[in-house]
Amino acid sequence: MMEDLLGSVTFGVFFLTTVGIYVVSVLGLNLQWGMTGQLNFGIAGFFALGAYTSAIMTTAPSDHHLGGFEMPIFVGFAAAMIVAGITAVLVGLITVRLRTDYLAIATIGIAEIVRLFLKNEDWLTNGVRGIPGIPRPFEASVGDNMFVFMAIVFFCVVLVYLALERARRAPWGRVLRAIRENEMGAEAAGKHITRFRLEAFVVGSMIMGLAGALFAHQIGFISPEAFTPRFATFIVWVMLIAGGSGNNRGAMLGALVIWLVWSGTGFVTSIVPPEYATQVSAVRLLMIGVLVQVILLYRPEGLLPEKPPNSRT
């Protein structure tokens, strides 16, 4: 009885932590797509960069990859955001002037190149063998406590949410939405469109880098296979579209709902013979794909649509 309870508590904490990490990713995407109208299909790339950066910064020294530098975890988080941000600046400087569908194609390329790089540069990342032993925050003082980690993830969620809500109401956020709605109008009003777009792209990508870092510390082991587009990119998109693009609360709700659906269908994997496990994952992906089409057709604004701006806020 106690063991059952403990089991469900463990599952619940793991579930909520995972949702929290996805929420961070989705909020980053919402800044890029929901608010500015930039298509980023390379979420997996920025997520992976964040995860690897934080892992290299915080693990114990190893002969198999660069570092580790045994830095405190928050240094790892900061480094993850910086590396993701610098990459986004480089990508953005080239692509931000382009039409947004070109950006979508280009970001897929970035994610693929990041994955190839992480896979092939053994000296840096230990290649396909991955990086094990990524520590949990405060492991020295409180031990490997899942509640502490969940609290840290939630702290990041709240921080990112408040910052983005503040930004959304600020003149900065209004310019982003103006660019999304009418680029020429915003330009005619004297706004430096390229700069605002680049800023939104970089900040959004940094948030995705943070999400990647959180993921690395949650799982404790990362390898390039963890960052295929279907899990790191597609599901984040589904969450945002289902929840409601442009609405930060919708983005968070979308993450929770879609992860509930995803985990709910996951139990099927545990009752079928292992040789069918890959087939079951295909069924789950199929369902998610169909779900997106249905949402796009029947409720394109999502569960919590973006509210029209209020003059007082």
Partner 1 sequence: MIDFLQLLIYGIVLGSILTLGAIGASLVYGILRFANFAHGDMMTVGAYLALVAVTTTGMSVYVALPFAMIGGAAIAIFFDQIVYKRLRRTVPIILLISSFSTALILRSVTQLIWGPKNQVYEAGISLPYVVGGVRIRPDHVTIFVGSVLLIIAFHLFLKYTMAGKAMRAMSDNVDLARISGVNSERVFLWTWAIGGALAAAAGVFLALDTRLHPEMGWHVLLAVFAAVIVGGIGRPYGAIAGGMIIGVATELSTMVFEPAYKPAVAFALMVIVLVLRPTGVIKGQP
Interface residues with partner 1 (CB under 8 A) are: 37, 39, 41, 94-95, 98, 100-102, 104-106, 108-110, 112-113, 116, 119-120, 230, 234, 237-238, 241, 278-279, 282-283, 285-286, 288-290, 292-293, 296-297, 300
Q: How is residue 65 written in tokens? A: 């990859």
Instruction: Report in angstroms how near the CB of residue 161 gets to partner 1 at its nearest.
Output: 24
Nearest Cα neighbor of 239 from 31, 51, 23, 37 is 23
Amino acid at the residue 210: L
Q: Which is nearer to partner 1, 263 or 281 (CB)?
A: 281
Q: How is residue 146 written in tokens? A: 């899942």
Instruction: Report in angstroms how near the CB of residue 18 gets to partner 1 at its nearest.
Output: 21
Instruction: Report in angstroms how near the CB of residue 292 gets to partner 1 at its nearest.
Output: 4
Q: Which is nearer to partner 1, 72 or 109 (CB)?
A: 109
Say how many CA atoms lie within 13 Å of 261 toward its Cβ. Answer: 18
Instruction: Report in angstroms how near the CB of residue 64 gets to partner 1 at its nearest.
Output: 19
- How many C-beta atoms surround the C-beta of residue 161 within 10 A? 17
Q: Look at the block and give the residue holding tokens 């969620």.
A: 157
Instruction: Report in angstroms how near the CB of residue 112 gets to partner 1 at its nearest.
Output: 6
What contacts 86, CB < 8 A, 6 or more positions away? none
- Whole-angstrom Cα distance, residue 271 to residue 288? 20
- Whole-angstrom Cα distance, residue 120 to residue 128? 8
Q: Which is nearer to partner 1, 159 or 282 (CB)?
A: 282
Instruction: Report in angstroms how near the CB of residue 104 gets to partner 1 at its nearest.
Output: 6
Whether the Cβ atoms of residue 50 and residue 81 lie closer than 8 Å to each other? yes
Instruction: Report in angstroms how near the CB of residue 213 gets to partner 1 at its nearest.
Output: 25
Q: Which is nearer to partner 1, 158 or 294 (CB)?
A: 294
Q: Which is nearer to partner 1, 82 or 86 (CB)?
A: 86
Phi, psi of 281 (to 5 degrees): -65, -30
Instruction: Report in angstroms how near the CB of residue 97 gets to partner 1 at its nearest.
Output: 9
Amino acid at the residue 290: V
Q: Which is nearer to partner 1, 62 or 281 (CB)?
A: 281
Q: Which is nearer to partner 1, 79 or 96 (CB)?
A: 96
Q: Which is nearer to partner 1, 145 or 194 (CB)?
A: 194
Helix residue spans in the chain (DSSP H): 2-29, 43-58, 73-95, 100-120, 122-125, 139-142, 146-169, 171-181, 183-188, 193-219, 229, 235-243, 248-271, 277-298
Helix residue spans in 220-276 (DSSP H): 229, 235-243, 248-271
- Whole-angstrom Cα distance, residue 13 to residue 147? 7
